Amino acid sequence: MSGRAVLVTGASRGIGRAVAMAFAAGGDRVAVHHRDSAPLAGQLVAALPGEGHVVVRADLADPDEVRAMVDDAADRLGGLDVLVNNAGVFGSAEAGHPVFDSSYEQWQQQWRRTLDVNLLGAANTIWCAARHLRNRGGRIVNVSSRGAFRGEPTQPAYGASKAGLNALGQSLAVALAPYGIAVATVAPGFVETDMTNEHLKAPRGDAIRAQSPFHRVARPEEIAAAVHWLASPEAEWASGTIVDLNGASYLRT
């Protein structure tokens, strides 16, 4: 089989869709993961250039489904060379879970849902995928967020989940390097996706776009380009890095 075998979680729309397109355009075979958007995933696979692409399904909050999904992807792709941990959840723009405006039950629910998918789901996917990536010169790229650094006052579980994902990636960059696996992370700011659509509507959207001196938010393809490079053979020495992709809307040293 030609090209690499690539698993992209949350690939049916947004950043994940752009990532899948970038890898397929480069000649790779892509497993398009979704939770409950089979029609969109199927449409994407049909639209990807090249051959050998597949659709896989799992609720990332379910460890058993994660394991079955990763093994299914590896079996149908003929192995696994790259994992892109892109899937994630974010609370609604209106609700969120501010500490003084949420009931204790709402607080618990939001934390459990967010960490189960964004952090534990990603960790479980890595554990399962590492068994297939081992000694293949594999790559893992995690999609984090600038919220891990600047804070998310109305969505604290989201910010904490992404900060945890950053730490997870750095820990595993050290742990997995002896097995030929490089691990890197991208941390986007706001991106034009279904998940952020309600946040980008006027009038709040104007304020969000004004956070960047470019007066816009990112396009999914811009994030996908960075992910694609970090997964390349040339990017091994970037293992452990966290790449800020926020249009200078948040700067750190």
Q: What is the H or E stretch that residue 163 is in?
A: helix 156-176
DSSP class of residue 30 equals E
Provide the token pair at 159: 């910010």
Among 92-96, 182-186, 247-251, the range scoring the smallest mean pLDDT is: 92-96
Q: Residue 95 — pLDDT band, cuts 50, 70, 90?
A: low
Please report the pLDDT score of residue 121 as a whole number. 98
**Whole-number mean pLDDT of the chain?**
95
Contact in structure between 217 and 191 (CB atoms under 8 Å): yes
Whether 158 sits among the annotated catalytic residues: the reply is yes
Give every strand in the sheet of 139-143, ordered side by side: 54-57, 29-34, 5-8, 82-85, 139-143, 182-188, 242-245
137-178 residue pLDDT tens: 899 999 999 999 999 999 999 999 999 999 999 999 999 999
**Polymer length of the chain:** 253
Cα distance between residue 64 and residue 136, in whole Å: 25
180-220 residue pLDDT tens: 999 999 999 999 987 787 778 878 899 999 999 999 999 99
Q: Residue 94 — pLDDT band, cuts 50, 70, 90?
A: low
Please report the pLDDT score of residue 28 as a whole number. 98
Contact in structure between 162 and 144 (CB atoms under 8 Å): yes
How far is CA 32 from each of CA 3, 16, 122, rounded to the nearest angstrom? Answer: 16, 9, 15
Catalytic residue among 104, 158, 179, 250: 158
Q: Secondary structure of 52-104 in the HEC alphabet?
A: CCEEEECCCCCHHHHHHHHHHHHHHHCCCCEEEECCCCCCCCCCCCCCCCCCH
Q: Residue 227 — pLDDT band, cuts 50, 70, 90?
A: very high
Among 9, 7, 131, 139, residue whose Cα is nearest residue 61:
9
> How many CB atoms are closer than 10 A to CB 178?
8
Contact in structure between 6 and 82 (CB atoms under 8 Å): yes
Q: Amino acid letter at 34?
A: H
